[in-house]
Amino acid sequence: MRPVELKIQAFGPYAERETIDFTKLVGRSMFVVSGRTGAGKTTIFDAMTFALYGRASGTLRNASDFRSQFAQPELKTEVDFSFTIRGDHYRIVRQPQQPHPKNKTPIPHEAVLYEWEDGWKPIATKVNEVQEEVESILQLSYEQFSQILLLPQNQFRQLLDSNSNEKQQILQSIFKTEAYRVFQEKWAERLSTYRKQVEWAVERTRLKLLELEDEAIEEISTKSIDVIHQWLDEREQRLITTVESATEQKQDHSKKLEQARTELEQAKALVSLFQEQQETLQALDLFLKGETERNERHELLQRLEAAANIRPVYDRLLEMKKHVQRLTVEEQASSKKLEQLQQKQSSLSEQQSAIEENKQEILSLQERLRLIDEMLPRMKERAEYVTLREQLTKRAKELNAFSKEARLQELQVHEQQLVKTLSIEPEERAVDAERHVDRLMYLVKLEAKVNELSNQLSTCERSGKEVQRLHAIQQEVMTKYKQQEQMNAARQLSETLQEGEPCPVCGSRHHDVPQFEDLLESMEKEEEAKARLEELTTRLFEARSDYRSLHSQLEEARREFDEVSKDIQVDGLLSEEVKKWQAHVDRLQREERTRLENERTLRQLTSEMRQLEEERRNQFEERQRVLTELEAIQQKLNALGQTEETTLEELQTERTNRQHRLAILTKKIEAFDHDFEIVKKETWKEEERLTLMRQQLSEAMEQYDSQKTTWNKQLEVAQLNQGRYEQLADRIDQRTNIRENLQREEEEGVRLRHRIQMIEGKLGNVAQPDLQSIETKVNEAKELYERASEHLITSQEALSRHRQIISEWNTLRKDTAREEQKLETIKLIAETGKGINPQKMTFETYVQTAFFDQILHAANIHLDQMTSGQFRLERKVETAKGNAKSGLELLVFDAYTGQSRRVQNLSGGEGFKASLSLALGLAEVVQQLSGGVSLETMLIDEGFGTLDAESLDQAIELLMSIQATGRLVGVISHVQELKDRVDARIEVKKSRSGSTIQLIVE
């Protein structure tokens, strides 16, 4: 991401609209943001971060605080930020939630994201949509942006100090390692799925054995494999014996069934012959009864043959009759049409005289039109000149006077007044007075600081005295406890004394032992008193330290106050002096605004006067041109002279009317000639057609009479009349069927007589057998055979099923063993990828460590330059304790001590150098690997103030050296040396009315 332009309006300390055009850096890749404390330097980075993510760059500022206190109520708080990334140009316009200038309902948080495609086109218009699109474009969340591209104030060590889990999320977003995480998750899912699959395979193997459906299988399935195999072999042998016995029984019953079936077949053949003999006799009797009917059909067949011979003559006669009828109808229609055409021709002949008169009128109209065409050009030219003369005369009257003359004179008077007013120079500038007010305000702050420190010092002094008093009291308490300890020692000694023996202390042989009950009770609180004394001692030490610190700060504030107030003369209180000077500044600012307004008004007046004078000059030149053209038109009219009284409009109207009449007459004559010619042609054609048709009708009548005579002769030869032929005509086509049926029936009679003779020869004197008793005997044999067959099939199926189940069971046992081995392999891969390994490192983290090592290598090059080889960043390879993720924690190797330590133990300056090196290394590796994240910009807020002179020089040299990479580095810093060495600066100026921004490129 590389910024292009940033516009800030009513945002933070900026009351108006401020613009930073980063394109003016002109190839520079580093700029410094400078200004006084509180001027709004960090707000520039806040504005960029707010535009992208709707949040500030640091954690100490909220978006709800972005509304400028200096802005006018009607001016909206808004940030307009445009940037480029990977060649695409984007722009975000965002405004935070803010008070409404007129009602209590606040203006909501709004944001719009645009993309440049021949113009700004919105691609997201809602706050959440803009958030998602920005994270998709930058490939960074807000937290990752703040750790990688932006080093916020007081938070520049976030990336350096982040734990392994936080670094993992950053590297995942940058290097797109989600695929490796998905890979390890898929292997975990595969392990779970495959474990269930193996468990089911084991259960399926056991269930396969239970398919034997044996009473003992439940118990046997729990035995060892050898016992199961022995039981299975014994069961198979029993099944084989059963199959062999069933086979012998089936063969015996099969022979008996075959004998019974042979006897049945022979009986069925005899019964069939007896039935066929009876059926044949019945059919022959029926044939003999139909002899009369067959003779009648023979006679009908002969008459149909005769009718078929004369049918062509009759068909030809019918065709001729239809032809005569058709010609008769056509002749009648043609005769009627010829009569109609003759009548129409007679009517047209009667109109001939009227048509001749129309032709004469046409000649007269054509002559008049020729005369009008000769007159029209002259009439038209004169009319055009007359119209143009009237227009030019009217235009000359309009241009005679300048309409804005009064306005021009008014502007000239106003201009003289403004020039006179602006000629007086102001005695004092507002900016000088503002500087004095700023110094007074600074004095007020210093005075308040002195008073505050004085109050704090007094409070600290009182608090210290109270702590000192309590400390003295507690010391007295501890003194009493020490005395009690001595008494306790005496008590212990007294317990060892015996009456009559000398005391080791005083030598006395008589011992008076005191009572120690109260002492024992008070000794229980000694530890509490000791802890209280230690606490008061610590508080007393802190109070004295705070007193010294406050006293030092007060002395420093007083020295600064005296230094600043040297050249300032104050009469009375500082607050009164500030008010007086502020009023003076307000008056000078009003005078300057008035003067600027007068200057702007003067420029506007001068511009308007020039415009009016130009308009007056152009109007005069236009009037002269119009008068010249008017004179030329009058000369042309004089040259044309007078014309006849008929006007141009009347002549054009007459021409139009005569042309219309001419067109009507011409069309009428053409239509008459066309119709007359068509009628003549159609009449002649119809006469010819009628003559031809009458000849054809006469010839057809003669042919019909001849054919009718021939037909009557054919009827006599066939011994038929007209009515009998018509009865037979519909059945002529049935001749073939009748003939074939007669022939087939006669052949059937011959066959029946022959079949009866053959059956009688086969039967001889044999009696008809009892078929029912024979079938009963066959069924009994068949039932016994089927029972034996079923028994054999059942035995064979039991044996076959036994062998098949055992085969499938053995196959399942082998498959299950292979699946269990495969499960162990998958489990090893899944658990290793999931982090269940000695290093407690997931597969994704392992891949990220490869990228992270490259980043550390690049970062150490910069860190070595900035620390003169003292420090080197290292990745911690030791396994973390418990279930914590490991692999991306950082250590720093110190060449001075030869040992590694946690990066959190680095000082502020050392931590800044390490963080800067890590950010630069990250950017270089991403660019080398062409990742989806664009790290073209780095923004650093403070941090250089923690460096010593040598470290600062090394850091500046490092930042200057990366300009060759084209990466843009923005730095907020108060360090003067950094400002002097960078030729591009964004200066933020602070005033009482708000801050302003100025981009300076030297």
* 755-777: average pLDDT: 79
Task: Evaluate whether 159 touches 935 at the Cβ level (below 8 Å).
Answer: no
Centroid of chain to Cα 913: 42
Q: At a CB cut-off of 8 Å and minimum separation 6, what does 470 contact?
A: 536
pLDDT of residue 761: 78
Distance CA 778, CA 266 (A): 13
- pLDDT, mean of residues 434-453: 82
* % pLDDT > 90, the chain: 4
Q: What mean pLDDT is predicted for residues 191-201?
A: 77
Chain-centroid distance of CA 539 in Å reads 64
- Across the range 211-222, mean pLDDT stands at 75
* Residue-wise pLDDT tens digits, 296-341: 778 777 777 777 777 788 788 888 888 888 888 888 888 888 888 8
Give, for 119, the enclosing helix (H) or strand (E): none
Contact present, 487 and 519 (Cβ < 8 Å): yes
Read off the pLDDT of residues 136-174 as tens digits, 9 standing for 90 and up.
888 777 776 776 677 655 455 666 667 777 777 767 666
Alpha helix ranges (H) inside 646-770: 648-717, 722-729, 735-763
- What pLDDT, on a 0 to 100 scale, did the predictor assign at position 643? 53
Print burial letters for 962-986: b (CB count within 10 Å at least 16), e (below 16): beeeebbbbbbbebeebeeebebbb
636-681, pLDDT tens digit by residue?
777 765 554 566 677 778 788 888 888 888 888 888 888 888 888 8
Mean pLDDT on 451-455: 88
**Whether pLDDT at 32 is above 80:** yes
Residue 477 has pLDDT above 50, yes or no: yes
User: According to DSSP H, which parts of 730-842 are helical?
Assistant: 735-763, 771-834
pLDDT in tens, 612-622: 888 888 888 88
Which contiguous run of DSSP H or E holds residue 110? strand 110-116
Average pLDDT of span 223-231? 79
Other CB atoms within a 10 A radius of the CB of residue 419 amount to: 13
Instruction: Give residue 944's pLDDT.
Output: 64
Nearest CA among 380, 323, 301 for reference residue 732: 301
Q: Say which amino acid occupies 201.
A: A
| Residue 999 reports pLDDT greater than 50 | yes
Kindly report, residue by residue over 345-388, the tens digit of the pLDDT: 787 777 777 777 777 878 888 887 887 777 777 777 777 777 88
| Mean per-residue pLDDT of the chain | 79
Q: Is the pLDDT of residue 239 over 80?
A: yes
Cα–Cα distance measured from residue 306 to residue 303, given in angstroms and rounded to the nearest whole number: 5
AA identity, residue 781? A
Hey, how many other C-beta atoms are within 10 angstroms of the C-beta on 349?
10
Average pLDDT of 745-772? 79
> Which tokens is 402 given?
């300048």
For the segment 934-942, the average pLDDT, to the nearest whole number, is 71
Phi and psi at 972, nearest 5°, equal: -100, 120
List the single range of 389-403, 732-746, 870-884 with lowest mean pLDDT. Answer: 870-884
844-858 pLDDT, tens digit each: 777 777 877 888 888
Q: Is pLDDT above 80 for 567?
A: no
Query: Comparing 267-271, 506-510, 766-770, 909-913, which segment has the lowest mean pLDDT?
Result: 506-510
pLDDT, position 640: 65
pLDDT, tens only, 266-292: 778 877 877 877 888 888 788 778 778
Task: Render pLDDT for 42-96 as a digit per residue (tens, 0 to 9).
Answer: 888 888 889 998 887 665 566 667 888 888 888 889 999 999 988 889 999 999 8
Burial class (CB in 10 A: 0-12, 13-18, 19+), 565: middle
Nearest CA among 1000, 970, 800, 727 for reference residue 42 = 970
Measured in whole angstroms, the distance separating CA 66 from the mean position of its chain's CA atoms is: 32
Is the pLDDT higher at 644 or at 877? Answer: 877
pLDDT at 64: 62
Q: Is the pLDDT of residue 520 over 50?
A: no
